[in-house]
Structure 1
Amino acid sequence: MVWKVLDTRDIPLKCRSLPASERMKIYKKLTKTYKKPSDIPQGSLGMVRPMGLIDQAMVALFYAFILGVPLTAVPCLTIAGFYLGKGWAMALFGFYVALAIVPMAKDKRKEWIEGRLLQLLYHYSSYKVVWASSIEPYKNIPAIGSGGPHGVFPLGAVMSIPAMNEFLGIDFVGGMASVVFSTPGMRSIGSIGGIDVGKKSVQKAILDEGKTVGIVSDGISGCFASANGTDEYLAIEDKKGISKMALRNGLNIAVVHWFGNSVCLEPKVDSFGFLKTLSRKLKMSVFFFTGRFFLPIPTRDPIVMCIGESIIVKKKIENPSKEEVEAVHKKVVEAHRKLFDEFKGAYGGVYGGKELVICS
């Protein structure tokens, strides 16, 4: 087994107009191979590459829309109601409702991959893909993915959907919280290849449609865990649903860690845990956050998707015992920890002295 690294900043923009087969040849040529993670130059994965101001502004506008619109909706409506009058407040409310209900395309993975916006998002985050060559024999076998950390917003997960499809040739979609598809601004990312993260939707995609589905395994808890301190937090200690689904359906588990995802936005939460409890009850994140220039725009911390060795589930168990589920879950936790420990040095920077803390 070897490790492969593809830096999306090395990919010429002209690739977007080439046939898929020609693009794949370019990707293979640009992919670097290492015998082990420690062979990757220290700090190389965390390097930021230059980007023009106009291109940065376009990305900033995109993030301001998908993250800023839901963040500012309540304050804007309140201000309009108190200072601009009922008419303006109703008009603004109608605008938000329209953003929430206007029909949108569900699966535009091909259009995203061939579009300029995705390339700009990759470049903004100096996005890199790292994977174990041992996963390649399984790339055409439907599986379920355990990814993290969630952070304030799973940028790494969103960009991993087209990356998995384009660079690894995997028919891949991402599980997203139901509320995403009805949230003004944010719902526009659903077209990148998102499906409802509910069990029925995930099983249909995997078992009936033959897709691999990635799930941000720490979910809402991960939003709040990222505010805990200086280490990297992954809130999967008591989250065993992926392991149970893998056992019941005989699915392999792909384990992914997104470096940079937890540091590009900073959560602002209360110390009493009220917002965390409220978020769990509402099944949506309720808190404030800041990013670049104290705006809802991620900083340019590089995001690196590291895909480890697959956890092979050899047989279906219709009703797995607690012990069987726990055994697989333990492997998932160990795989996440191994990925973090092996690649934090190659990322360097903010990850140099961090440890991965598994929490609930």
Structure 2
Amino acid sequence: MKIEFALLNVPLARHLQTAAVLQAVLTFLLMGQVGIGIMVMLIMYNYWFLYIPYLAWLCYDWQTPEQGGRRWNWVQSWTMWKHFKDYFPMYLVKTQDLDPGHNYIFGFHPHGIFVAGAFGNFCTNYSDFKKLFPGFTSYLHVSKIWFWCPLFREYLMSNGPVSVSKKSVSHVLSKNGGGNISVIVLGGSQETLESQPGKFILCLLQRKGFIKIALTHGASLVPVFSFGENELYKQINNPKGSWLRTVQDTVQNLTGISLPLIYARGFFRYNFGIIPYRKPIYTVVGRPIPVRQTLHPTPEQIEELHQTYMEELRKLFNEHKGKYGIPEHETLVFK
């Protein structure tokens, strides 16, 4: 295999962009384990004056990820996030105005490997979110497992993410006055294993909890498709029935964590590493689906709205795919 090295004479801005993305990837992959390791070391060496106050704080603060989180504007404004956004680069596209007097659920698709588009567009101050949707606050819901990791949970919340639990979503949608958006990556970790360049497989058929919550709170549903999300990494081929996929599915079912075998580019060479490829990401926010509040929705009402949501998502994909280089014959596959 021919090895292509990154040239040393590329502009400094591009190196800063690459470093920002590498930091984000390493944080996602390692910081949870590092936080756990630090706490174990503090306990092993009996640094009680450090770990006892923190554990007490952890007990006191345990519910915060389900109560709107604790974002810090200065963290979301770090220049590093500008370099992160410019690396791909990343764009947020609005198709219709939203009423800030209402609350909304943004269904984000596809999951991809690291949901870069969701984080970059809804958790940093360098996206066009506030300009395109004035009067709104976005809450990116992520797996509650990440908030079980000491130290890492504090850093994660400072950027804006909150838990994806029912209680957490309900908390956001119950806020009076409207102007709140729950951003939910609906495919979950299961969809990560389907993430391949040029493929558009969404794990949505059995995911109806968000529909029930939308009905219960009367929150309008908005399909969001992030074109380019699946192009950031290549994944070792893992078709259903293969030994690799069997192992991955088993781990995912037992732990809720997927383990895709991915590769892309490195810091000094272009054709192998864990840094995502420089591929543009266009996160397109579709038309809202009005939802009448129904405190006790029936299975039939949930199914009807679920079908409507999938139809709107398919329309959104078909209307915009040609603009972003996707062949006309490509379509969404729901599973």
TM-score by length of 2: 0.75
- Shift of the alpha carbon at 1:185? 9.5
Counterpart secondary structure, 2:275: coil
Q: Distance in 2 between matches of 1:184 and 1:60?
A: 23
Task: List alignment gaps of at least 5 residues for structure 2.
Answer: 1-10, 45-49, 267-271
Pairing of 1:55-204 with structure 2 (within 5 A): 55-69=16-30, 94=41, 106-108=69-71, 110-133=73-96, 135-136=97-98, 138-162=99-123, 163=127, 164-165=129-130, 167-169=132-134, 170-182=136-148, 187=153, 188-204=155-171
The 1:355–1:189 alpha-carbon spacing in structure 2 relative to 1, beyond 3 Å, is farther
> Which residue of 1 is the match for residue 257 of structure 2?
284
Q: Distance in 2 between matches of 1:151 and 1:259?
A: 10
Q: Structure 2 counterpart of 1:281, which letter?
A: L
- Shift of the alpha carbon at 1:154? 0.7
Task: Give aligned-pair identity as a percent.
Answer: 23
Number of corresponding residues: 287
- Shift of the alpha carbon at 1:190? 3.5
Q: Distance in 1 between matches of 2:95 and 2:120?
A: 19
> Which residue of 2 is the match for residue 10 of structure 1?
none
2:283 to 305, 312, 317: 305
> Which residue of 2 is the match for residue 30 of structure 1?
none
- Shift of the alpha carbon at 1:342? 1.3
What RMSD in Å do the two structures reach over aligned CA positions?
Answer: 3.3
Q: Distance in 2 between matches of 1:219 and 1:91?
A: 28
Q: Distance in 2 between matches of 1:109 and 1:153?
A: 22
The 1:124–1:312 alpha-carbon spacing in structure 2 relative to 1, beyond 3 Å, is same
The 1:316–1:119 alpha-carbon spacing in structure 2 relative to 1, beyond 3 Å, is same
**Aligned 8 A contact 1:125 1:303 in 2:** yes
The 1:190–1:262 alpha-carbon spacing in structure 2 relative to 1, beyond 3 Å, is farther
TM-score by length of 1: 0.70
1:60-107 Cα deviation digits (max 9, x unpaired): 431342244269x79xxxxxxxxxxxxxxx889749x99x98989953
Q: Distance in 1 between matches of 2:317 and 2:152?
A: 29
Q: Structure 2 counterpart of 1:280, which letter?
A: N
1:126-171 Cα deviation digits (max 9, x unpaired): 11111122x33x2341111211100111111111214434542211
Q: Distance in 1 between matches of 2:324 and 2:235?
A: 22
Pairing of 1:261-340 with structure 2 (within 5 A): 261-268=229-236, 270=238, 271=242, 272-293=245-266, 294-313=272-291, 315-340=292-317
Pairing of 1:209-248 with structure 2 (within 5 A): 210=178, 211-227=180-196, 230-248=198-216
Q: Which is helix-richer, 1 or 2?
A: 1
**Aligned 8 A contact 2:31 2:152 in 1:** yes
The 1:261–1:190 alpha-carbon spacing in structure 2 relative to 1, beyond 3 Å, is farther
Q: Distance in 2 between matches of 1:322 and 1:218?
A: 21
- Shift of the alpha carbon at 1:329? 0.7
1:166-187 Cα deviation digits (max 9, x unpaired): 5422111111101223458975
Q: Are 2:334 and 1:359 equivalent residues in the alignment?
A: yes
Q: Distance in 2 between matches of 1:232 and 1:184?
A: 35
Deviates more, 1:233-242 or 1:269-278: 269-278
Q: Distance in 2 between matches of 1:192 and 1:182?
A: 16
Q: Structure 1 counterpart of 2:115, which letter?
A: P
Q: Are 2:320 and 1:343 equivalent residues in the alignment?
A: yes
